């Protein structure tokens, strides 16, 4: 049997996105859960950059692999149509993707494997990838729970858009919270708003809010380490969820690292519910 041919797309046309959405539907009917395809990102792929690999069998999209290059290591997310699995398509897509990333000088990647099925984990392990971490995907539908009790540290908190003068503080907050300041300002996605939290004229926290249609996402919420545990995170999240609703979002989603019980408790208290969990496997190129 011949393998489907792999197309390396630069930018994505509407037809290519529709084929990916159709593949996603077929995969979810079979596996459940969700695929972390970041539709906001797929809708804004720069036309001069190769980030998406599509395995075609005639007119049928048999597999897809997307490169999501926003942090330290690029993340790879994708899937193979259930009726095309175990024929080497996932391997061929991954090999071609790793080739591209090697040309860009990248040394390692993170494979995103949804827990709704075992196949991603088994595939990653068969490729010699090692478990890095796992993240819960959480969702708030409708109104956030609250408002939280005011506390001395939350009086006078102001959430405002970040400006260039905030850059150094935001990078240091993100470095401190996630060991990675590179994602600061999220300038790559036009749907993203970089926000800072101000108290007594000092920046004490940061987060990004992405708004697209009736869906919003919160990313990289970080509060200065000496001010944590005083209700600032909860107050900010509540305020930002209200603002997202005011701007037309019905759902707000976020991801939290498995094991970060403190953050999980905070999100649950604002009304977020656990939807799915994804494992991240690290693979050297
Ligand atoms: C993971 C996925 C992309 C693999 O695609 P695929 O085309 O079936 O993968 P391949 O045929 O190239 O498999 C390569 C090897 O991985 C391992 N593997 C893949 N799927 C497996 C499974 N369900 N059970 C056990 N081993 C598996 C095997 O060692 C396989 O080699 P073999 O078939 O010769 O034994 C596909 O199962 C899928 O779409 N899963 C749901 C989405 C997902 O998890 N994506 C994240 C990928 S990290």
Same domain, 18 and 112: yes
Q: Which of 128, 158, 193 is the last residue of a domain?
A: 128
Residue 284 located in a structural domain: no
Q: What is the 3-state secondary structure of 5-53?
A: EEEEEECCCHHHHHHHHHHHHHHHHHHCCCCCCCHHHHCCCCCCCEEEE
Same domain, 119 and 166: no
The alpha carbon of 90 and the centre of ligand 1 are apart by a number of angstroms equal to 6
Query: Where does the chain show beta strands of DSSP type E?
Result: 5-10, 50-57, 60-68, 75-80, 108-114, 130-141, 158-161, 192-199, 202-212, 215-223, 251-257, 273-284
Residue 11 located in a structural domain: yes
The alpha carbon of 86 and the centre of ligand 1 are apart by a number of angstroms equal to 6
Distance, in Å, from the CA atom of 174 to the CA atom of 206, rounded to the nearest integer, reads 8
Residue nearest to atom 25 of ligand 1 (CA): 122
Give me the pLDDT at residue 70, please: 81
The alpha carbon of 122 and the centre of ligand 1 are apart by a number of angstroms equal to 6
Give me the pLDDT at residue 281, please: 98
Q: What is the pLDDT of residues 13-50, one digit of tens each?
A: 999 999 999 999 999 999 999 999 999 899 999 999 99
Give me the pLDDT at residue 189, please: 63
Mutate to test the pocket of ligand 1, among 82, 97, 123 (most ligand atoms within 8 A of CB): 123
CATH number of the domain encompassing residue 46: 3.40.630.30
Q: Which of 85, 103, 128 is the last residue of a domain?
A: 128
Same domain, 153 and 271: yes
The alpha carbon of 99 and the centre of ligand 1 are apart by a number of angstroms equal to 19
Give me the pLDDT at residue 187, please: 47
Mutate to test the pocket of ligand 1, among 63, 90, 115 (most ligand atoms within 8 A of CB): 90
**Half-sphere exposure for 205 (CA within 13 Å, toward CB):** 31
Same domain, 159 and 226: yes
The alpha carbon of 142 and the centre of ligand 1 are apart by a number of angstroms equal to 37
Give me the pLDDT at residue 98, please: 98
Residue nearest to atom 15 of ligand 1 (CA): 123
Same domain, 268 and 241: yes
Kindly report the length of the chain. 285
Residue 282 located in a structural domain: no
* Reported pTM: 0.89
Same domain, 251 and 167: yes
Determine the straight-line distance between the first and last CA of the chain, rounded to whole angstroms. 28
Same domain, 260 and 163: yes
Domain containing 17 equals 5-128
Using CB distances shorter than 6 Å, the residues near ligand 1 are 27, 31, 78-80, 85-91, 111, 113-114, 117, 119-120, 122-124, 126
Distance, in Å, from the CA atom of 210 to the CA atom of 38, rounded to the nearest integer, reads 11
The alpha carbon of 130 and the centre of ligand 1 are apart by a number of angstroms equal to 15
Same domain, 9 and 109: yes
Average pLDDT along the chain, 285 residues, taken 10 residues at a time: 88 98 98 93 94 97 96 93 97 98 96 96 98 96 93 94 93 88 55 90 95 90 94 96 95 94 93 96 97
Same domain, 47 and 163: no
Residue 133 located in a structural domain: no
Distance, in Å, from the CA atom of 275 to the CA atom of 285, rounded to the nearest integer, reads 31
Residue nearest to atom 23 of ligand 1 (CA): 119
Residue nearest to atom 47 of ligand 1 (CA): 120
Q: Which of 128, 148, 180 is the last residue of a domain?
A: 128
Residue nearest to atom 10 of ligand 1 (CA): 88
Residue 61 located in a structural domain: yes
Number of domains in the chain: 2
Distance, in Å, from the CA atom of 51 to the CA atom of 146, rounded to the nearest integer, reads 41
Same domain, 121 and 239: no
Same domain, 62 and 192: no
């Amino acid at each position: 049997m011949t393998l489907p041919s792999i197309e390396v797309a630069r930018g994505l046309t509407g037809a290519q996105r529709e084929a990916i959405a159709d593949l996603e539907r077929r995969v979810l009917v079979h596996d459940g859960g969700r695929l972390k395809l970041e539709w906001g990102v797929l809708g804004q792929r720069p036309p001069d950059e190769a980030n998406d690999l599509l395995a075609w069998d005639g007119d049928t999209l048999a597999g897809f692999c997307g490169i999501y290059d926003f942090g330290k290591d690029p993340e790879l997310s994708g899937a193979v149509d259930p009726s095309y699995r175990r024929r080497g398509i996932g391997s061929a897509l991954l090999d071609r993707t790793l080739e591209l990333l090697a040309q860009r000088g990248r040394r390692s990647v993170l494979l995103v494997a949804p827990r709704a099925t075992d196949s991603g984990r088994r595939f990653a392990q068969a490729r010699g990838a090692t478990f890095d971490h796992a993240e819960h995907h959480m969702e708030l539908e409708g109104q956030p729970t609250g408002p939280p009790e005011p506390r001395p540290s939350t009086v006078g908190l102001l959430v405002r858009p970040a400006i260039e003068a905030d850059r150094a503080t935001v990078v240091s907050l993100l470095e401190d919270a996630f060991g990675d300041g590179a994602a600061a300002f999220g300038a790559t996605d036009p749907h993203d708003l970089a926000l800072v939290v101000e108290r007594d004229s000092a920046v004490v926290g940061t987060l990004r809010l992405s708004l697209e249609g009736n869906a919003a996402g919160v990313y990289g919420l970080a509060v200065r380490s000496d001010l944590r545990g005083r209700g600032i995170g909860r107050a900010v999240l509540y305020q930002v969820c209200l603002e997202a609703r005011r701007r037309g979002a019905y759902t707000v989603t976020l991801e939290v690292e498995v094991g970060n019980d403190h953050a999980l408790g905070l999100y649950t208290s604002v009304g977020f519910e656990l939807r799915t969990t994804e494992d991240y496997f690290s693979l050297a190129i």
